[in-house]
A = this chain, B = another copy of it.
Amino acid sequence: MTSSMSWTDRYLLSAVRRIANPVGVRLAVPCKSVPAPRQSPEVPTIWVDNRHTLASLLLNPEVSFGDAYSEGRLEIEGDMVPLLETLFESTAQTLSWKSKLVSAWLWWIQLNSLKGSHKNIHHHYDLPTDFYKLWLDPQMLYTCAYFPDRTATLEEAQCAKLDLVCQKLWLRPGEIVAEAGSGWGAMSLYMAKHYGVRVKAFNISHEQIVFARTRAKEQGLTALVEFIEDDYRNIRGRFDAFVSLGMVEHVGAEHYGQLGRVIHRAIGDSGRGLLHFIGRNYPRPFSVWIRKRVFPGAYAPALREALQILEPSDFSVLDVENLRSHYARTLECWLQRFERSYENVARRFGSDFARRWRLYLAGSIAAFNVGALQLFQVVFAGRECRGIPWTRTYLGNDTAARRQQDQSWIRAMS
CA A161 – CA B28 in complex, angstroms? 61
Residue contact A314 to B393, C-beta cutoff 8 Å: no
A319 within 8 A of B: yes
A397 touches B393 (CB 8 A): yes
The interface residues of chain B lying within 8 Å CB-to-CB of A310 are 281
Number of copies: 2
Q: Which of A317-352 contact B (CB under 8 A)?
A: 317-322, 324-325
Cα distance, A392 to B392, chains bound together (Å): 10
CB-based nearest B residue for A314: B281
Complex Cα distance A221/B30, Å? 71
For the complex, what is the distance from the CA of A358 to the CA of B310, rounded to whole Å? Answer: 33
Find A314's partner among B282, B303, B390 (CB 8 Å cutoff). B282
Binary B-proximity of A10-22 (CB < 8 A = 1, otherwise 0): 0000000000000
User: How many angstroms between the C-alpha atoms of A390 and B311 in the bound complex?
Assistant: 30
On whether the beta carbons of A325 and B388 are closer than 8 Å, the reply is yes
Residue of B nearest to A317 (CB): B303
Among A39-47, A123-131, A144-152, A171-179, the stretch that binds chain B is A144-152
> Assuming A281-B316, A316-B374, is B390 touching A325 (CB within 8 A)?
yes
A392 touches B304 (CB 8 A): no
Q: Which residues of B contact A304 (CB under 8 A)?
A: 304, 307-308, 311
Contact: A322 with B311, CB < 8 Å? no
Measured between beta carbons, the chain B residues less than 8 angstroms from A312 are: 282
**Interface bin, chain A:** 35 or more
A89 to chain B minimum Cβ distance, whole angstroms, is 9
A374-402 CB contacts (< 8 Å) to partner B: 374, 376, 383, 388, 390-393, 395, 397
Report the separation of the CA atoms of residues A211 and B167 in the bound assembly, to the nearest whole angstrom. 44
Instruction: Give the residue name and chain of the B residue nearest to A323 (CB).
Output: B391
Residues of chain B within 8 A of A321, CB atoms compared: 318-319, 392
A138 at interface by CB-CB < 8 Å: no
Q: Does A302 make an interface contact (CB < 8 A)?
A: yes
Closest to A388 in B: B325
A392 touches B395 (CB 8 A): yes
CB–CB A322/B319 < 8 A: yes
Specify which of B282, B311, B395, B397 is in contact with A311 (CB 8 Å cutoff).
Answer: B282
Q: How far apart sit A360 and B148, CA to CA, in the bound complex (Å)? A: 44
Contacts of A311 in B (CB 8 A): 281-283, 302, 304
- Residues from chain B with a CB closer than 8 A to the CB of A281 are 310-311, 314-317, 383
Given the known inter-chain contacts A302-B311, A304-B304, A307-B302, please indicate yes or no for A149 contacting B390, CB distance below 8 A: yes
Q: Say whether A294 faces chain B, with CB atoms less than 8 Å apart.
A: no
Are A316 and B307 also in contact (CB < 8 A) when A148-B391, A392-B395, A395-B392 are? no
Q: How far is the CB of A355 from chain B (nearest CB, A)?
A: 29
Residues of B within 8 A of A391 (CB): 146-149
* Interface presence of A371 (CB below 8 A): yes
Supply 11 A–B pairs (Cβ within 8 Å), ascending by A: A146-B391, A281-B317, A282-B312, A303-B317, A304-B304, A304-B307, A304-B311, A307-B307, A316-B371, A318-B321, A325-B390
> What 6 pairs between A and B have smallest CB-CB spacing?
A320-B320, A304-B307, A282-B311, A371-B383, A318-B322, A281-B314
Show the binding face of A for B, using Cβ within 8 Å. 146-150, 281-283, 302-304, 307-308, 310-312, 314-322, 324-325, 370-371, 374, 376, 383, 388, 390-393, 395, 397
